[in-house]
């Protein structure tokens, strides 16, 4: 038996079962994927050419903050071992994801045992399986660059598990592990900055329960190093990293409404997007659905025992804490792995009050739904991340001879790196491609889809912003090749330029391309 009262033999058996199931599901998908995608080229070029970039070099490291030290170190290790073979990178992702799933099982069992006197392993096991095959968490395996998420999840779960053991057993080793895991989570991704708040909330819950747990004073004092670490990281990341674009003071009702979208994604990703878009377009219906849901929650809450009511209150506080990073960061509902795990925890707490047969049936159906949802999303994911576009350009090159390609847009553009890799088999930036000196800033947009339009007129590319909060401006850091110029038109007050015209070399068919995801550049060339 370990100190949690859970048989060590059973722990090993369940961990092995989870590993076998995850490997059986993901290795065939990895073999199908088995290629670098989109920003992988950019990321691995940085790894090859710069190694671990200086933390304050964010302007040249815009898509991957150099403050995410731990993921970059793992990419450096993968590059040294696997070079240009993607299979090894995917296996590393799979290993990290498997560790996260096992840690989730251990954490759920610890929570249910301590707070609900539930020693059973079926509910934690099924919830861990749901996380393993969740239709949002599969990106942690099949998208190499998403390793930041899986590492964040691993150390977030480890920190909370160690904190639970520290609160219950008062062994300093567990506190040291809590502090170390928190620091590693911060070095994985900035969303870990809410961990000190979670530590305090859980510690206060333990203090109220008594039974030998830490007193409130000790909980607050031991939280100080965590807050110092997170606060220092926050100040450095937000105010000194040129790559950071956090809008702390910006407030929008849509940002709060996006929390609804986050919960929908966590529950069932394939249904979340159409439901969220429908609710945004039909706010009266959304309000009605919200009232019905609130009524049902109130009726359910009234039937709970006083102890379980306190648990619901704690759950609400945890939900607000976990949502904070995304409410700060984004207007649209973007989710990370920690929020998915929180939904799993909340659902697990709910089904513990049911009869074992019904709880097992519900979780099994939910697991099946996640597997089906993942199966539905995977084809679209493979299509969106396919390198077919770059292979078409290479085929045309072989047919008609070498040519130059122009990447017209700035944001989310990795074509120069992808083309270099597909041409030469090494990571680097393709010098036969160049970008226009036009900077498109879409951080403030809220409209779905592209927030600007592009048309070709008599040797000009005309960019016209659809959303006045988008900014089109000249980017002085891009060298201007001969024959290219940018002209700004119609400055919009307080928002910069809404219209820009880019003059390019003669626009012969199939000589200049837009290399951007989901943009119909073939139609534009007609």
- Domain end marker among 384, 406, 438: 384
Dihedral sign, Cα of residue 69, residue 73, residue 78, residue 80: positive
d(CA 74, CA 63): 17
Percent of the chain with pLDDT over 90: 17
Check residue 333 and give its pLDDT: 43
In the chain, how many domains are there?
2
Give the 3-state secondary structure of 355-422: CHHHHHHHHHHHHHHHHHHHHHHHHHHHHHCCCHHHHHHHHHHHHHCCCCEEECCCCCCCHHHHHHHH
Q: Is 259 exposed, middle or buried (0-12, 13-18, 19+ CB in 10 A)?
A: middle
Residue 314 lies in a domain: yes
Task: Tell me, yes or no, if the pTM score tops 0.85.
Answer: no
Residues 414 and 336 in one domain: no
* Of 118-122, 362-366, 411-415, minimum mean pLDDT range: 411-415
Asked if residue 420 and residue 379 are part of one domain, the reply reads no
Section 337-350 average pLDDT: 82
Q: What domain range is 257 assigned to?
A: 8-384
Query: Residues 325, 471: one domain?
Result: no
439 and 377 assigned to the same domain? no
For 208, 275, 336, the CA distances from 260, given in Å and listed in that order, are 31, 10, 14
Q: For Cα atoms 45, 50, 55, give the angle at the middle one, nearest 5 degrees.
A: 115
Q: Which residues contact 417 (CB under 8 A, 6 or more apart)?
A: 41, 42, 45, 427, 428, 429, 430
Last residue of a domain, which of 384, 404, 427?
384
- 13 assigned to some structural domain: yes
Question: Is 483 inside a domain boundary?
Answer: yes
**pLDDT score recorded for residue 438:** 75
Quote the pLDDT of residue 467: 62
Last residue of a domain, one of 342, 360, 384: 384
Local confidence band at 486 (pLDDT 50, 70, 90 cut-offs): confident
Residues 358 and 395 placed together within one structural domain of the fold: no
Q: Which range is most confident: 236-250, 299-313, 337-351, 457-471?
A: 337-351
Domain membership of residue 445 (yes or no) is yes
pLDDT at 226: 92
Does 327 share its domain with 190? yes
Does any domain span residue 371? yes
Q: Are 364 and 411 part of one and the same domain?
A: no
Q: What is the pLDDT of residue 94?
A: 96
**Packing angle between helix 122-132 and helix 337-351, nearest 10 degrees?**
150
Q: Is residue 121 part of a domain?
A: yes
Residues 55 and 153 in one domain: yes
pLDDT tens across 22-39, in order?
999 999 999 988 889 878
**Structure confidence by residue, pLDDT tens digits, 149-204:** 899 999 999 999 999 888 888 888 999 999 999 999 998 887 788 889 889 888 88
422 and 372: one domain? no
- pLDDT, one tens digit per residue, over 108-141 is 988 888 777 777 788 899 999 999 998 888 889 9
The answer to whether residue 206 is domain-embedded is yes
Do 332 and 426 lie in one domain? The reply is no
Chain centroid to CA 120: how far? 32
Same domain, 303 and 363: yes
> Which tens digits make up the pLDDT trace of 392-404?
778 877 776 665 6
Is 3 inside any structural domain? no
Q: Clarify whether residues 351 and 464 are in a common domain.
A: no
Higher pLDDT, 306 or 144: 144
């Amino acid at each position: 038996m370990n100190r949690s009262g859970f048989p060590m033999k059973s722990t090993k058996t369940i961990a092995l079962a989870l590993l076998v199931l995850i490997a059986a599901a993901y290795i065939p998908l990895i073999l199908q994927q088995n290629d670098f995608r989109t920003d992988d080229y950019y990321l691995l070029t940085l790894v090859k050419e710069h190694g671990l970039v200086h933390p304050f070099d964010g302007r040249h490291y815009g898509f991957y903050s150099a403050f995410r030290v731990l993921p970059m170190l793992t990419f450096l290790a993968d590059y040294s071992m696997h070079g240009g073979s993607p299979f090894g990178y995917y296996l590393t992702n799979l290993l990290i994801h498997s560790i996260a799933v096992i840690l989730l099982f251990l954490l759920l069992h610890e929570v249910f045992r301590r707070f609900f006197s539930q020693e059973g392993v079926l509910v934690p096991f099924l919830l861990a399986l749901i996380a393993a095959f969740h239709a949002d968490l599969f990106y942690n395996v099949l998208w190499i660059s998403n390793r930041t998420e899986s590492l964040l999840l691993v150390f977030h779960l480890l920190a909370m598990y160690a904190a639970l053991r520290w609160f219950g057993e008062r062994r300093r080793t567990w506190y040291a592990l809590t502090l170390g895991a928190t620091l590693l989570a911060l070095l994985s991704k900035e969303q870990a900055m809410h961990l000190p708040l979670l530590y305090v909330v859980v510690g206060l819950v333990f203090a109220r329960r008594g039974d030998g747990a830490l007193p409130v004073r000790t909980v607050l004092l031991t939280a100080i190093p965590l807050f110092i670490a997170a606060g220092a990281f926050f100040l450095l990341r937000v105010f000194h990293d040129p790559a950071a674009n956090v809008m702390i003071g910006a407030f929008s009702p849509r940002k709060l409404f996006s929390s609804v979208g986050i919960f929908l994604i966590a529950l069932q990703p394939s249904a979340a997007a159409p439901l969220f878009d429908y609710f945004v377009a039909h706010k009266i219906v959304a309000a009605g659905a919200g009232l019905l849901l609130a009524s049902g929650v109130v009726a359910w809450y009234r039937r709970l025992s006083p102890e379980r009511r306190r648990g619901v209150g704690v759950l609400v506080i945890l939900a607000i804490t976990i949502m904070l990073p995304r409410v700060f960061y984004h207007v649209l509902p973007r989710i990370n792995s920690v929020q998915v795990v929180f939904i799993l925890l909340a659902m697990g707490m709910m089904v513990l009050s049911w009869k074992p047969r019904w709880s097992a049936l519900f979780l099994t159906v939910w697991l099946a739904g996640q597997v089906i949802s993942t199966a539905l999303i995977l084809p679209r994911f493979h299509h969106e991340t396919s390198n077919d576009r770059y292979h078409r350009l290479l085929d045309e090159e072989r047919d008609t001879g070498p040519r130059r390609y122009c990447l017209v847009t700035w944001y989310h553009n990795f074509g120069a790196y992808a083309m270099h890799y597909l041409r030469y088999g090494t990571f680097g930036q393709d010098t036969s491609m160049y970008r226009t000196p036009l900077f498109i800033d879409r951080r403030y947009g809220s409209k779905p889809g592209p927030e600007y339009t592009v048309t070709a007129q008599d040797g000009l590319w005309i960019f016209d912003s659809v959303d006045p909060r988008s900014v089109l401006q000249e980017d002085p850091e891009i060298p201007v090749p001969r024959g290219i110029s940018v002209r700004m038109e119609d400055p919009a007050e307080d928002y910069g330029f809404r219209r820009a015209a880019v003059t390019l070399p003669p626009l012969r068919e199939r000589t200049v391309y837009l290399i951007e995801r989901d943009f119909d550049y073939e139609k534009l060339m007609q």
